[in-house]
Structures are given as structure tokens and as C-alpha cells.
Amino acid sequence: MRILLIEDDPVLGMAVRDQIVADGHGADWVTRLADAEHAVHAAAFDLILLDLMLPDGRGSDFLRKLRSTGDATPVMVLTARDQISDRIAALDAGADDYLVKPFDLFELSARIRAVGRRYAGNPNPLVTLGDIEVDLSARSVRRAGQTIALTAREWALFEAFVQRPHQLMSKPQLEERLYSFDAEVESNTIEVYVARLRKKLGADVIETVRGMGYRLGTPGGGA
Amino acid sequence: MRILLIEDDPVLGMAVRDQIVADGHGADWVTRLADAEHAVHAAAFDLILLDLMLPDGRGSDFLRKLRSTGDATPVMVLTARDQISDRIAALDAGADDYLVKPFDLFELSARIRAVGRRYAGNPNPLVTLGDIEVDLSARSVRRAGQTIALTAREWALFEAFVQRPHQLMSKPQLEERLYSFDAEVESNTIEVYVARLRKKLGADVIETVRGMGYRLGTPGGGA
DNA sequence: CCTCGACGTTCAGGTGGGTGTCAGCTGGGC
DNA sequence: GCCCAGCTGACACCCACCTGAACGTCGAGG
């Protein structure tokens, strides 16, 4: 796996790069966003590790620009504990995962392995639910052959269900999933997004279990 | 899994400890930081549940001190909804997760299971009773391969039986389980829900012991 | 710098299904 | 045969959930 590391701190950067190499991956390490943009244009990566605070700009801006070009390379954000707003911005901008500094290098290895399993392990990770096809790496959903566009939040919610097909998930669980550690929201946001997903993908896509939460339904009938 | 609970509120503490034990873990419950420090020196825990407001100090200070000794035991902080600053302080001090009071005991179980999964690498545990399969973390029940939908109360009651497979449970015990502490119910609610469970899962799923209570039956014949 | 559009979030009002209660019935134990 | 614990079907209430719309916010493009 080829990994692009965008991190300006020399100590952390070196440690992470060494760990990546030790895990048997290829590592490209840049310290500025300008270099990072050059790198993603020059080569294809399987994973990008992105620090949010960089000398020549914000990592979330880089990420947003990357996603706007249609690039779906998995991005794992490296963030400090108190930069909650930045973290949310990063998830909104299209980050796939995040790691809170200071993090254990074992944790890093485990996450990278998880990415490899999820994305590179099987080149065509298609999940099928009735007549719905989900491509986790491409972030695309099709129902009856028709591609359906989901917004960032809609996708984040839907992905949570797809990754755990039989699991019942409570609203607090889902809120935490969508809003990271800043689960301060006291509203019906989850309900609203469930409704929007049902409107886009079909009413039977998500099943309500009163008083407990939601779970993936069985689209297209129980067949 | 062995869990240290640091919580001074007797009602909440008892409820959490009972839930931990019901989930099959070992629980040590202390109400003061002094006792907590003694406990972590005396034994190794797999998880620490830490209240932030304690009679003899702040939980975040305890946590910081613990981390400074190199102890990396997972710590889940229990915090009130409005103590945002304390929560951030706890995360900075090295907490791995947090749970906002008042929290559902199911939520607690799920989080504890998540910790166990993260550190042991196990998938969800499946409980099998004859031809009935129960996934406690997914909250799903299947009989002969057929998924059966349970409501919140029905699940709560069924879970109580599944977690104590051979134990006889009186109606007051079950009422306390379903309605936590304000057990103000004076009716045959338990009988009603036992009947509903039997209708959904089969008559042999719960066995009546006249004058004493109920216990889990042996579905699928006395095999 | 301004405008437009897309998306996220909040709010209020309506609704249906879960829940608790009750009355009457059943059946086992003595 | 009596008695009482447990069983069952029915039903009204209430709250969790749904939904449409309005509002705020952020980024793209001129």
C-alpha cells in the first residue's frame, strides 16, 4: 500500500513514516500542502494521512479541494484533542477516519490495516442490499441501476448502517458517529437524516425500532 | 473483563455495577479517588469507568496522574451534560471515551463491549438457545434463521433472562430490571410481557415456576 | 465583494404504535 | 371443590417518531 503523509512536525512525522515503512508500506512524507497537492497529482495513493494544522494552510481545505475533484482516496485525519471544530470541518470535508494526537503507533498500524482491508483487500467492495448496490470506496449508491447522490451527512449516516448490517444502533450512537466527540446536539437531526435517506433510497432501507434506535432494513422485500 | 468503577453516587453506582456484572464482567466499585488509586496499584484492570465529580477530588486529576505513570488502561469518563470544560479536560488528560449522564445502561454495555472488541479483536458474541440465536450487541434475535422483531420492553425482559441463563428470577426482580429504580408499577406487567415473548419466540422460551418466578426454558426440545 | 445555491440544523405540529392497565378466565395445588 | 397465581385479549393513552418548512451557514462563481 502506498501512503501519503502530510505532517509538519518533524518528530511525529518521522515516527509515523518509520512505522508505515516498518509495516511494509510505501511512505511519501511532505510537510506542506503545496507539496501534498503536487504529490496527489503526480501519483495515486491508497491512503492519505493528513494533519490539520500546517504551515501553509488548513488541512480541511486541502481535503475539500481533493474531494471536489472527485478523488475518493481514503483520508485519515490526524488531529489534536482540543481542535474539535477543525475535526468536524475535516469530517464534513470528506475525511474517512481520524486519529487523535497523541496516538499510539500500534493504533496507527491497526487503522492502516483496517483501511487496507476495507479498500485494497478486495478491489471491488460492493455491498448489495436487495436492489441497492453500495460501493464504500467510491462512496456511491445505486438503486435499480440508478445512481443516487448523497450529501456528506447522508452518506455518513448510511455508511454507519451498511458497515454493521444487523446491528441495531441507538440515536446517541449515531450522533457520535456523525459528530465525533462533540456529541452535544440535543435535536432530532438523526431522525431528519433517516427520513431523507428513506426518501432517496426507499422507505424500507432503514427500519425503526421504537425506543431503541434504527437498523438496516431489507430493501426489495425479504427475498 | 475486569472493570474498575469510580463513582460516588450510590444509586448510579449500584446500577452500573449490576449491569457490569450482568454482562459477565468483574466489577470493583470505589467511591473515592484515594480508594481508586489503591485499587489500580493493587490490581490490573481492563477498563476504568471514571466519574469526574468526586468527594475527594477531580477525576481528571486522577486520570492525569495515572497516565503519567505510563498506565494505558482504557478509561471511560462518566460526565454530566453541562460540564463541557471538565469533559475536554478529561480528554486532554488521556480519557479514551466518555458517556454523558444520564445514560442508558444498554449504551454502557455497548461501549464496554466495544472496548473489549478493540483490545481483544473478537466479533460480536452469539448466544445460542436451541434454535434461537441472540446477538446481544446487535439486539437481534433469530429463531430457525428467521429474524424476530422485539420492542424495547420485550427486549429488556428477554435480555434479563439471556444474561442469566439458569437463574430463577422473581417478578419484583424483573420489575426492578425493567423500570430501574422508580418501581412504581402495581400490575401484572411482567406476566403480560412474558406472554408476549412466548407468543413471538415460542411458548417454551420462558418457564414458569409457580409462586417463585420465571427462568429461561429449553427451546427446541429438551435436547 | 456580492449573490446564489446547496446543505445542515432546528422547530412545531401531527400520528401511530408501544405500553400499562384491567377484567375475566384457566388450571394447578391442597 | 376452593383458592389463588398466572394467563390472555382488549383498549385507551401518551410519547417517540415523522415530516414539511423555515432558517443559518458555507462555498462556488461571477
Name the one residue in this structure whose C-alpha cell is 475525511.
Answer: A95
Domain A2-121 CATH assignment equals 3.40.50.300: no
B116 - beta bridge partners? none
pLDDT for B102: 72
As a whole number of angstroms, the distance between CA A8 and CA B97 comes to 27
| pLDDT at residue A222, as a whole number | 47
SS3 content of chain A, % helix, strand, coil (to 5): 45, 25, 35
Report chain B's mean pLDDT, rounded to a whole number.
82
User: CB distance A184–B151 less than 8 Å?
Assistant: no
* Band of pLDDT at residue B124, cut at 50, 70 and 90: low
Structure-block grid coordinates of residue A82: 482540543
Percent of chain B with pLDDT over 70: 85
What interhelical angle do B189-201 and B152-163 show, nearest 10?
A: 80
Chain A contacts of B72, Cβ < 8 Å? 104
Single-letter amino acid code for the residue at A205: V
Assess whether A95 (CB) lies less than 7 A from strand D.
Answer: no
Q: Which among A172, A183, A210 is the nearest to B152, CB-wise?
A: A210
Neighboring chain A residues of B98 at a CB cutoff of 8 Å: 181
Smallest CA–CA distance, residue A161 to chain B, in Å, is 12
pLDDT, position A136: 73
Question: Min CA distance, A163 vs chain B (Å)?
Answer: 12
Q: Which of B98, B137, B152 sits opposite A167 (nearest CB)?
A: B137
Tens digit of each residue's pLDDT (9 = 90 or more) over B26-72: 888 999 999 999 888 877 788 999 998 899 988 888 998 888 777 87
Query: Alpha carbon of A209 to those of A91, A184, A219, B70, B222: distances in Å?
Result: 28, 23, 16, 43, 32
Question: Is the Cβ pair B107, A167 closer than 8 Å?
Answer: no
CB-CB contact of B36 with B6 (8 Å): yes
Q: Do domains A2-121 and A126-216 have the same CATH topology?
A: no
Q: Do A210 and B151 touch (CB under 8 A)?
A: yes
Tens-place pLDDT, residues B148-205: 999 999 999 999 898 888 889 999 888 888 886 555 667 899 999 999 999 999 999 9
Write out pLDDT tens, residues B91-111: 667 777 777 777 777 778 877
pLDDT in tens, chain A (223 residues): 778 899 888 778 887 887 787 676 778 888 888 888 878 876 677 789 988 878 888 888 888 888 776 677 788 888 765 555 555 666 667 777 777 776 767 668 777 776 666 555 444 467 788 888 888 767 788 888 888 888 878 888 998 888 777 889 988 888 877 775 444 556 889 999 999 999 999 989 999 999 999 999 887 654 4
Separation of A192 CA and D15 C1' (Å) = 18
Interhelix angle for B171-178 vs B152-163, to 10°?
Answer: 120
Which of A82, A167, A212 comes nearest B155 by C-beta?
A212
Q: Give chain B positions within 8 Å (CB) of A183.
A: 100
pLDDT of residue B56: 92
- State how far the Cα of A219 lies from the Cα of A127, in Å rounded to an integer: 13
Using the predicted structure, report yes or no on whether residue B123 has a pLDDT greater than 70: no
Average pLDDT over residues B4-14: 90
Helix axes A189-201, A171-179, angle to 10 degrees: 90
Instruction: Write the residue in B103, B135, B152 that is nearest to A212 by C-beta.
Output: B152
Check CB contact under 8 Å for B98 and A211. no
User: CA A151, C1' C4: Å apart?
Assistant: 19
Nucleotides on chain C within 7 angstroms of protein Cβ:
6-12, 17-23, 28-29
User: What is the reported pLDDT for A152?
Assistant: 79
- Taking domain B126-216, whether its CATH number is 3.30.930.10 is answered by no
Question: Which residue of chain B has the CA closest to A165?
Answer: B138
Q: Helix B105-120 crosses helix A171-179 at what angle (to 10 degrees)?
A: 50
What class is the B2-120 domain? alpha beta
Query: Measured between alpha carbons, how far is B3 from B46 in angstroms, rounded to an integer?
Result: 6
- Residues (179-198, chain B) with CB within 7 Å of strand C atoms: 179, 185-189, 192-193
- Each domain of chain B, given as residue ranges in start order, spans 2-120, 126-216
Give the distance, in angstroms, between residue B185 CA and nucleotide C21 C1': 10
For residue B187, give the nucleotide whose C1' atom is nearest its CA: C21
Measured between beta carbons, which residues in chain A are less than 8 angstroms from residue B88? 81-82
Distance CA A184, CA A98 (A): 19
